[in-house]
């Protein structure tokens, strides 16, 4: 009698909500079902329901590929590919030094892989040049939280806490399309009329605030910082602060008050377009819901829309200042949080992919941190390199004099996801060696000299850390294709060929045990955890969770309840005035471009564009144009439109809608080729965080008289260096 199929408990491969799933193998096909869990409560979005389709992508990579002398990509054996990579890396290091090799990681890698990649870069390659695409995601929030609160954990409280709040200020996040199951946690604030959404678009999330559910503040793109300074002005000027909290638990409030005094509501309205009435109403909603006034709770939440800015750190800092002035942070039922985007954006930076960090959220220039991690790795601290270049600077340096000559890419699709994407492609082409590990031939893999087929989500064991600092088990449900290998195995094999010191485990549970030891005593302490414990406590453990001699530490769902991990135990008001976006509109470029996501696609679209149901629902890039702007340029719905900045142009189909401001157009960034929004976006960066200014730039808009728009991405793509169907020259 045949045994019934067994369900495997795991989590979604996409965003940091990490919705719980059950995976069942039936007749060779993986069936996905939602699983009850605090964050998703059994629900999944369209991406989650269709996530198994990527496992059977028709162009799944299953054998190593090497570019031959003819320029064509050809299959080869694993030994031949790894021998070639090791030989070329040795040659480049011997000729140009260890920093001539660079590594670029991804926020979708498991904790084990993120940890091992950082270790591999620093002691197998000896390079300081490692960073990851989380630099494009959370870096401004990270910098601001570290400066103000002493530690960065996206949400320093469980997501379920939001449900009890009467007011939630949501800045720059379109949860209804990026994390639909999270919307259920906004229900309490909506019912109380206290959902306040700040977004230059009338997004699906902004529309949740309609009909008495709250407020939609629709500022001029790039003016979020003045909006926050205006809210803080009202809070200070109208006596809405939690004076006792501010006096006992913070420092620097007077500096914040003094700066906010110069942003009176009429000035804010003139700069941002947000009316004085709306500004005051938002401040009073938040204050009435705050603990000091007997409210049920209030939260201030930020997302990429305000963080992906050349003044993103200052903007998040102002959001934290507002939460501190109201006495929200470190209070049960209230707080500040940043909504992590990528599946393991949190864990990916905690354990070594970020250019300035070692495992456990230790800083790489701290001698004690270096000594601790070196002891775990079994090496002399002196061989661990110092800080490397942050992502945008690293990419710009590729192939230049004194810059890296080789790049290893793991879990990122830079040709679509990086700002000023055509420039990034030029830098990739200038390299002597580009190695890409991926599961499908992404646009970046199409440019590679060596492509290594690796495992994906349901084919491997590991852990992920969700947006709320909850460590989750990812479990193997199916066998991978015969030719694919885990990156843990790849790095072990390369470390051996390169003569690297230390032990290079390939079992994810053993790598996690090493990670836990390396994190011990750090801000992100996982030392009390193991795969075995997480298997027994699937929904329960948030970091920090230090090792104990007796009863296991329960984890820390809520941070800051007693004090802040700062030298004096207090949170800091950190102030910065508005200087505006790096690129202002003017006669030559009179329109703002803002970018974002759609429900059906994720990040660069390399996975979701291969899912028929998702590609069918959202098949091609588009440009949202306000009717007034459309009339000015003679644009009708369905016309081909060209959007041009100082860096390049993108073409897509027009959608005429009043969801955008008359001075603004919107493009999603999930597509490649001429429909790629990141051909246009600005790669100028925040001076503190290194975050590029994805979210606003100055453009011109024009209707094109062409018969057939070459914008739709194909279901599968080849691996040649020549232009593909989505890369028609302009």
Pick 65-137+364-536's CATH classification: 3.10.50.40, 3.40.50.740, 3.30.930.10, 3.40.50.300.
3.40.50.740
Q: Given this chain, do its domains 7-56 and 591-704 carry the same CATH topology?
A: no
Nearest to 304 by CA among 172, 202, 197, 416: 172
Average pLDDT, the chain: 94
Q: Where are the chain's structural domains?
A: 7-56, 65-137+364-536, 139-339, 591-704
Rounded to whole angstroms, the Cα distance separating 90 from 101 reads: 10
Please tell me the predicted confidence (pLDDT) of residue 707.
Answer: 53
Q: What is the DSSP letter of 308?
A: S
> Which numeric CATH code is attached to 591-704?
2.40.40.20
Task: Output the pLDDT for position 6.
Answer: 82
Give the pLDDT band of residue 729 (cuts 50, 70, 90). very low
Q: What per-residue confidence (pLDDT) applies to 3?
A: 57
Q: How confident is the model at residue 721 (pLDDT cuts 50, 70, 90)?
A: very low
DSSP designation for 485: B
Q: What are phi and psi of 510, to 5 degrees?
A: -70, -35
CB 245 within 8 A of CB 327: yes
Q: Domain 7-56: what homologous superfamily?
A: ADC-like domains (2.20.25.90)
Q: Name the percent of the chain lying above pLDDT 90.
A: 92
* Secondary element (H or E) of residue 107: none
Q: What is the CA radius of gyration of the chain?
A: 25
In angstroms, the CA 62 to CA 439 distance is 8
* % pLDDT > 70, the chain: 96
Quick check: helix, strand or coil at residue 166?
coil
Instruction: Please work out, in degrees rounded to the nearest 5, the angle formed at the alpha carbon of residue 419 by the alpha carbons of 415 and 422.
Output: 50
Query: What tokens appear for 309 in the block?
Result: 């800015």
CA dihedral (189, 192, 195, 196) in degrees, to 10, reads -140
Q: List, for residues 141-161, the tens digit of each pLDDT value.
A: 999 999 999 999 999 999 999
* Residues 6 or more apart whose Cβ sits within 8 Å of residue 277: none
| Residue 432: Cβ-neighbour burial (10 angstroms; 0-12, 13-18, 19+) | middle
Q: Are 287 and 607 in contact (CB under 8 A)?
A: no
* pLDDT score, position 2: 53
Q: What does the longest C-alpha to C-alpha distance in the chain come to? A: 78
Residue 326 tokens read as: 């109201």
- Is pLDDT larger for residue 409 or for residue 727? 409
Mean pLDDT confidence for 718-726: 35
Determine the length of the chain: 730
Residue 609: phi and psi, rounded to 5, are: -70, -10
Strand, helix or coil for residue 25: strand
- pLDDT tens per residue, range 426-475: 999 999 999 999 999 999 999 999 999 999 999 999 999 999 999 999 99
Is pTM beyond 0.85? Reply is yes
Cα separation of the two ends of the chain: 62
Count CA atoms within 13 Å of residue 275 on its CB side.
5
Question: Which pLDDT score is estimated for 723?
Answer: 28
Q: Residue 4: phi, psi to the nearest 5?
A: -65, 150
Superfamily of structural domain 139-339: Dimethylsulfoxide Reductase, domain 2 (3.40.228.10)
Average pLDDT over residues 5-20: 93
3-class state of residue 78 by DSSP = helix
**Residue whose entry in the numeric block shows the structure tokens 């703002």:** 592
User: What tens digit of pLDDT does each residue of 52-91 get?
Assistant: 999 999 999 999 999 988 889 999 999 999 999 999 999 9
Considering only CA atoms, which of 380, 444, 435 is closest in space to residue 412?
444
pLDDT digits 0-9 by tens, 307-337: 999 999 999 999 999 999 999 999 999 999 9
713 confidence band (pLDDT: 50, 70, 90): very low
Query: Average pLDDT for residues 595-615, to the nearest whole number?
Result: 95
Please give the Cα distance from 126 to 265 (Å, whole number).
53
């Amino acid at each position: 009698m045949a045994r019934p199929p067994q369900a495997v408990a795991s989590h979604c491969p996409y965003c940091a909500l990490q919705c719980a799933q059950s995976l069942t193998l039936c007749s060779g096909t993986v069936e996905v079902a939602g699983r009850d869990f605090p964050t998703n409560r059994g629900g999944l979005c369209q991406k989650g329901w269709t996530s198994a389709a990527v496992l059977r992508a028709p162009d799944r990579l299953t054998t190593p590929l090497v570019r031959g002398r003819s320029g064509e990509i050809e299959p080869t054996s694993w030994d031949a590919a790894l021998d070639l990579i090791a030989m070329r890396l040795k040659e480049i290091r011997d000729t140009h030094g260890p920093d001539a090799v660079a590594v670029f990681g991804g926020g979708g890698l498991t904790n084990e892989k993120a940890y091992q990649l950082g270790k591999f870069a620093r002691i197998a390659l000896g390079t300081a040049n490692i960073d990851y695409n989380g630099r494009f995601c959370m870096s401004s929030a990270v910098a601001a939280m570290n400066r103000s609160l002493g530690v960065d954990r996206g949400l320093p409280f469980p997501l379920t806490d939001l449900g009890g709040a009467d007011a939630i200020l949501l800045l720059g996040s379109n949860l209804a399309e990026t994390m639909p199951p999270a919307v259920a946690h906004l229900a309490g604030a909506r019912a109380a009329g206290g959902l306040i959404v700040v977004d230059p678009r009338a997004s699906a999330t902004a529309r949740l605030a309609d009909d008495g559910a709250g407020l939609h503040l629709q500022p001029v793109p790039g003016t979020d910082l003045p909006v926050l300074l205006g809210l803080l002005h009202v809070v200070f000027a109208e006596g809405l602060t939690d004076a006792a909290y501010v006096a006992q638990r913070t420092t620097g409030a007077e500096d914040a008050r003094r700066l906010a005094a110069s942003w009176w509501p009429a000035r804010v309205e003139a700069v941002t377009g947000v009316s004085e009435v709306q500004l005051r109403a938002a401040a009073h909603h938040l204050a009435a819901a705050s603990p000091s006034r007997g409210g049920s709770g209030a939260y201030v939440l930020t997302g990429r829309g305000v963080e992906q800015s050349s003044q993103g750190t200052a903007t998040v800092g102002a959001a934290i200042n507002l939460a501190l002035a109201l006495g929200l942070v470190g209070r049960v039922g209230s707080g500040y949080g940043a909504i992590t985007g990528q599946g393991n954006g949190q864990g990916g930076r905690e354990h070594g992919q970020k250019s300035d960090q070692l495992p456990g959220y230790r800083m790489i220039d701290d001698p004690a941190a270096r000594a601790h991690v070196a002891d775990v790795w079994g090496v002399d601290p002196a061989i661990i390199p110092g800080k490397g270049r942050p992502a945008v600077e690293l990419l710009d340096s590729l192939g230049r004099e004194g810059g890296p000559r080789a790049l290893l890419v793991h879990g990122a699709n830079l040709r679509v996801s990086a700002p000023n994407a055509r420039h990034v492609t030029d830098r990739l082409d200038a390299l002597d060696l580009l190695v890409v590990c991926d599961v499908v031939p992404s646009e970046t893999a199409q440019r590679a000299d060596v492509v290594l087929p690796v495992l994906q989500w349901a084919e491997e064991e590991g852990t992920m850390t969700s947006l709320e600092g909850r460590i989750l088990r990812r479990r193997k449900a199916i066998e991978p294709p015969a030719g694919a290998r885990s990156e843990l195995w790849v790095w072990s094999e390369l470390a051996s060929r390169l003569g690297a010191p230390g032990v290079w485990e390939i079992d994810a549970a053993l790598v996690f045990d090493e990670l836990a030891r390396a994190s011990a005593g750090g801000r992100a302490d996982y030392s009390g955890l193991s795969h075995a414990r997480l298997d027994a406590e699937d929904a329960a453990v948030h970091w920090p969770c230090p090792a104990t001699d007796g009863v296991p530490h329960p984890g820390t769902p809520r941070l800051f309840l007693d004090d802040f991990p700062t030298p004096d135990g207090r949170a800091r008001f950190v102030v910065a005035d508005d200087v505006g976006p790096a690129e202002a509109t003017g006669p030559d470029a009179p329109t703002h471009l803002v970018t974002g996501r759609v429900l059906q696609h994720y990040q660069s679209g390399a996975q979701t564009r291969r899912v028929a149901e998702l590609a069918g629902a959202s098949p091609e890039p588009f440009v949202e144009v306000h009717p007034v702007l459309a009339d000015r340029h003679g644009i009708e719905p369905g016309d081909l439109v060209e959007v041009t900045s100082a860096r390049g142009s993108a073409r897509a189909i027009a959608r005429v809608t009043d969801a955008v401001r008359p001075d603004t157009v919107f493009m999603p960034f999930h597509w490649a080729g001429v429909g790629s929004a990141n051909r246009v976006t600005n790669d100028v960066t925040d001076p503190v965080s290194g975050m590029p200014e994805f979210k606003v730039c100055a453009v011109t808009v024009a209707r094109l008289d062409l018969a057939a728009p070459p914008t739709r991405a194909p279901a599968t793509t080849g691996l040649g260096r020549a232009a593909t169907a989505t890369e028609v020259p302009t």
